[in-house]
Structures are given as C-alpha cells and as structure tokens.
Amino acid sequence: MTGCTSKSKDRSPDWALNTAAVERMQTRPTFAAGSETEADALQRFNAFYEEYTYDAIKAGVRGLYAEDAWFGDPFHIVEGIDEIEHYFLVMAEPVERCTFTVDSVQRSGDEYFARWTMELESKAAKGELIKTIGISHVKFNQDGKIIFQQDYWDSSAMLDRLPIVGYWTRLVKDRIEKGLKK
C-alpha cells in the first residue's frame, strides 16, 4: 500500500537541460537554406527513421548525428553520439516493426520542425498497431549532422497498450474525458 501513497522519484526529463541545449545551439553555424547540404541532411533524416530497427540504427546513427549531439523525447534526455546510439538501440529492442513517415518539414531560421507519423508494433503489445503523430525540433551543424533534436509526441499512445500501465493511463484519460463532459 505504501507504494501507492508514497512520493516517487520524478522521472520526467529535466527541461532545464533542454533550455540550455537550445541556447548552446544558437551560436553554432549551420548551412544555407536551399543548399545541397540541407537537402542531403533532410534526406538522411527521413531515410534513417523510415525503418527504425537495430540494424538501421547501427548503420546510420553516426552519419546523422554529430559527436556532441543532444537528443530529448518524453522518456529521456541524452547527450553525445555514444549515449544517443545506446538509447536508440535500447528503445528498439522490444520493437517488432517501427516506421516514421515524415509528413512535412518547416524551416524557421536555422531550425527545422518535422511533423511525422509513427507506426509501431511492439513485443510488449503483441498484435496491436500503435499509431501516433509527433514533431521533431531539429538543428543541424554546418556539415549537415544533427546537433539538437527534441521530439514531442503523445507517449500515452504506446503506454495505453501495455499490461498494467495501460489500465492506469486509460483510467486517467477516461476521468479527464468525463470531467470535460460536465
């Protein structure tokens, strides 16, 4: 019973790290809009995420991300290519199939915002297709490698389908929905 009532460790990402990373990237030079480097960088981004597998990660992560890159998503924040590669490989372990389709890319100054659709089949939720949308906020260095990426997406789309955890996330969503109907 005490596990349900005691305070647990806050496991959400430290968003001050995001703010610091954004500030650091502002001073980094990048390539010109419309350049061949830009076209190549965006093509590598799309290709890398088309099939999110262990082999694809091993083959492409170091060609896409800079040595000192920063990556954040709803679950974790990692810095440096070694940590990014490790995190991606761990996240790919339970995956049976995962694809990201980049639906659109917008540029604002020297930052990019890619809207994507993820389709995931996981060993943890056998036989269920998990589909969600998200946005990646990305900045590239002058060589066309990612130095900053923050992904925003509804992680509950995945959590809803997990045993035990899914019950609780669905319960919270149902209570919010009932509250909105009052």
Q: Is the dihedral of CA 79, 10, 114, 17 positive or negative?
A: negative
**Residue 27, pLDDT score:** 83
Backbone angles phi, psi at 6, to 5 degrees: -80, 160
95 in any annotated domain: yes
The CATH number for 17's domain is 3.10.450.50
**Residue 164, pLDDT score:** 60
What is the number of domains present in the chain?
1
Q: Which residue has the tokens 């990426």?
A: 149
How much of the chain is in helix, strand and coil states, percent to nearest 5?
40, 30, 25
178 in any annotated domain: no
**Residue 158, pLDDT score:** 62
Domain range holding 63? 13-154
1 in any annotated domain: no
* Contact (CB, 8 A) for 56 and 85: no
**Residue 44, pLDDT score:** 97
- Where is pLDDT greater, at 139 or 74? 139
Predicted confidence (pLDDT) at residue 175 exceeds the cutoff of 90: no
In this predicted structure, which of 7-11, 17-21, 115-119 has the lowest mean pLDDT? 7-11
Backbone angles phi, psi at 137, to 5 degrees: -95, 115
125 in any annotated domain: yes
Longest dimension (CA), the chain: 60
pLDDT tens for residues 76-132?
Answer: 899 999 999 999 999 999 999 999 999 999 999 999 999 999 999 988 778 889 899
Question: What residues contact residue 131 under an 8 Å CB cut-off, 6+ apart?
Answer: 117, 118, 119, 120, 157
Rg from Cα positions in the chain: 18
CA nearest 69: which of 141, 159, 152, 162? 141
62 in any annotated domain: yes
**Residue 17, pLDDT score:** 82
- Where is pLDDT greater, at 162 or 43? 43
Residues making up the chain, counted from first to last: 182
147 in any annotated domain: yes
Band the pLDDT of 182: cuts 50, 70, 90. confident
165 in any annotated domain: no
* pTM flag (> 0.85): no
CB count within 10 Å of CB 12 equals 7
Give the rounded percent of residues in the chain with a pLDDT score beyond 70: 80
| Rounded average pLDDT over 131-148 | 96
